[in-house]
Amino acid sequence: MVKQIEKLNKGIYLEEEISEGVKTDFCIGVAGYPEKHYESPNPDLDLMFLKNKIDAGADYVTTQMFFDNKKYHNFVNSCRESKIEVPIIPGIKPITSKKQLSGIPSIFHVDIPNDLAIEMMKCKNEKDTELVGEEWLLMQVRDLIEAKVPVIHFYTLGKPHVVYNVMKKVM
């Protein structure tokens, strides 16, 4: 798909140039997986497929959500070692309920750090879990800003006020 969009940007439709074809000006973003895509047999192959998408014309990468910034930083380092030089936008999400401790890993195939899980398990109600999730997100955001990431993508999944609260604290 990336190759086809890149061709559309040059006015080439379905493998042939149309003399009056309109050139498009799409910016192409692709997904990246700091903890590897769940269908990939290993991180090296996952990185190879990402490199293929970049070589085909992708302009940037947005990551799958992660809760441990070390995984993002390691992923970026691996990408740079593989000559992937496009911006890599971190995708992060606040955990706002105990139910998400098992739901998110099973659906999205990502790990929840032990420290976060322990603090969430101590919570007595949903308000407390939101506050713990907000504090964890704030910690992630501050670290990413310090690391000079190009931009941060937030997966709000119905809880935009948590992200709003974090952004008020960092601005």
| Residue of 73, 72, 78, 2 whose CA lies nearest to 46 | 78
Angle between helix 69-81 and helix 126-146 axes, rounded to 10 deg: 30
CATH number among 3.30.1330.60, 1.10.300.10, 2.40.50.100, 3.20.20.220, domain 2-170: 3.20.20.220
Q: What is the residue extent of each domain of the chain?
A: 2-170
Identify any residues that bridge with 156 across adjacent strands, giving them in sequence order. none
| Cα 57 from Cα 6, distance rounded (Å) | 6
pLDDT in tens, the chain (171 residues): 888 888 788 777 765 656 566 888 888 999 999 999 999 999 999 999 999 999 999 999 999 999 999 999 999 999 999 999 999 999 999 999 999 999 999 999 999 999 999 999 999 999 999 999 999 999 999 999 999 998 999 999 888 999 999 999 998
Q: What is the pTM of this model?
A: 0.89
- Long-range pairs for 71-80: beta carbons < 8 A, 24 or more residues apart: 71/34, 71/35, 71/111, 72/34, 72/144, 73/147, 74/34, 75/32, 75/33, 75/34, 78/43, 78/47, 79/32, 79/47, 79/50
Please, what is the end-to-end C-alpha distance for the chain in angstroms? 38
